[in-house]
Amino acid sequence: MRELSLFIPYTDWNDSIRQQVETMEEVLRGMDLRSEIILLSLSADCQDTPLRFAQREGIRRVEIRRPRTYSSALFCGTQVAEGELVVHLPAESGIPDSILRGILQQLIQQDLVLVSTSQKPASPVSVVADWIQRRMGNPARLDVSRLVWGARREALTRLPQIQGLSRGLPLLVGMLGYRVAYCASPLIGGQPIQASPLPDCWSWKDWAGHRWLQQRWTQVDFSEVGTSANILPDLRVAFFEDESRRKAG
């Protein structure tokens, strides 16, 4: 059994993706993990990936046939992954080992960790709720296909194969009773030094628009921020489904 499966979905193979794969190979070797890289090809050309990558130890290529969608790629990758933990990288993106270690560290306590690579500071404490609503609420739902994220494979295998999964993943994981963490900057990890509560319940409507789900927000944690007390460069949000609606099993 491997400890980590690294998903890299892509549409067209190019030098940037090649460099990303080579870089992540080095990062994984340096972390001394039993790991694999799974290339999820959404290309119509079945010969898009060079053989030297497809045949390299620790790298597997999965061709996504019909439908060639991100949801299908995520579903197929989950079926073949051997790692207990899954980390997803957008095409042509890479992360240093410090961020990868931070994601894996958070997955010890969470089942899904979403990481925004934006370098912009987060919002002041007084508008935290508005900040979350803009990024994760309807109608503009968070698109995890554009984020670095990590999940326990067990959590992913219990999700249905549906269209729109890239935007509904946090909600669907919550519907199954799993815990989710949202990191608003690449500076993840460390211990929070301050907490601010959100409203007890937050109303969500699922991607199909036919079921309401009440989410209870447990906390927003803020790490040390330096000179300005009103800017939160490392905002982290943890939430899970209300206990009364949590599904058994």
13 shares its domain with 121: no
Lookup: tokens for 125: 């404490």
55 shares its domain with 123: no
Q: For 77-113, how does the pLDDT look when each residue is reduced to its tens digit (9 = 90+)? A: 998 999 999 999 988 777 777 778 878 887 877 777 7
What letter does residue 234 receive in the DSSP assignment?
A: T
d(CA 33, CA 94): 17
77 shares its domain with 136: no
d(CA 209, CA 196): 30
Q: For 119-173, how does the pLDDT look when each residue is reduced to its tens digit (9 = 90+)? A: 444 433 333 444 444 444 443 455 677 778 888 888 888 776 655 566 667 656 6
What is the CA angle 122-146-13, rounded to 5? 145
In 3-state terms, what secondary structure has residue 77?
Answer: helix
Domain boundary among 94, 115, 131: 94
Domain boundary among 94, 123, 153: 94
109 shares its domain with 175: yes
Would the pLDDT of 249 be above 90? no
81 shares its domain with 103: no
CA 221 to chain centroid, in Å, comes to 19
Instruction: Say what the alpha-carbon torsion angle 227, 235, 70, 94 is, to the nearest 10 degrees.
Output: 40
119 shares its domain with 215: yes
CA 7 to chain centroid, in Å, comes to 11
CATH of the domain at 12: 3.90.550.10
The domain tally of the chain equals 2
90 shares its domain with 170: no
Write down how long the chain is.
249
Lookup: tokens for 229: 């007390």
111 shares its domain with 218: yes
170 shares its domain with 104: yes
55 shares its domain with 104: no
Lookup: tokens for 235: 């905002």
> Is the preceding peptide bond at 67 cis, omega within 30 degrees of 0?
yes
38 shares its domain with 115: no
Range of the domain at 43: 1-94
